[in-house]
Amino acid sequence: MDCVFCSIVAGETPAEVVLETDVLLAFLDRRPVFKGHVLLVPKAHHVTLPDLPAELRDPFLAAAQRLATAMVDGLGAQGSFVAMNNTVSQSVPHLHCHVVPRTKGDGLRGFFWPRRPYAEGEAAAYAERLRSVL
C-alpha cells in the first residue's frame, strides 16, 4: 500500500507530530490553511469515517476535541474549524480530520482553502506550541 499517512505513522516520512496515542497520530499539515493546521489520523489504515471501527470513534473524537482546544490555548486562535472529507475531496485516502485555527476576519470563506506555507523552521515552532498545551 502506498499511503503517505501510513508512511508518517510508520516514521518513514517526517512530520511535525503534535499528539500521539497508541491508536492515533496528529501532525501539522504540510500545506496549512492557517499555520497550526493539524491532521488527525488513526494509525491503522481506514479510508473513511464509516470505515472507522467503533472502538476508535471515542478516542478519535476526544483527540479532535483536545486539538480544537489547543488551537485556542496554544496558538491564541479565537476558535477552530474541524472537518473531514469522505472520498470526495479526500486528498489522501486515509481517514483524516482537519483541525484549523480560526480568527474572526481571517479570510476563510466556505470551502475555498488558500494555503499558507511555513517559513524555514517555523513548522517546528508551531508544533511545539501545540504540544506544550496538549
**pLDDT block averages, 10 residues each, the chain of length 134:** 94 97 97 95 97 97 98 96 90 96 86 77 92 90
Could you list the active site residues?
Answer: 96
Q: What is the pLDDT of residue 113?
A: 61
pLDDT value at residue 114: 67
Outline where the chain has alpha helix (H).
Answer: 4-9, 54-75, 122-133
Strand partners, 128: none
Confidence (pLDDT) at 111: 62
Domain count, the chain: 1
Owning domain of residue 41: 4-133
CATH code of the domain containing 17: 3.30.428.10
Express the helix, strand and coil content of the chain in percent, nearest 5 each.
30, 20, 50
Residues 97 and 54: their CA atoms lie apart, in Å, by: 16
Q: Which of 133, 127, 134 is nearest to 16 (CA)?
A: 127
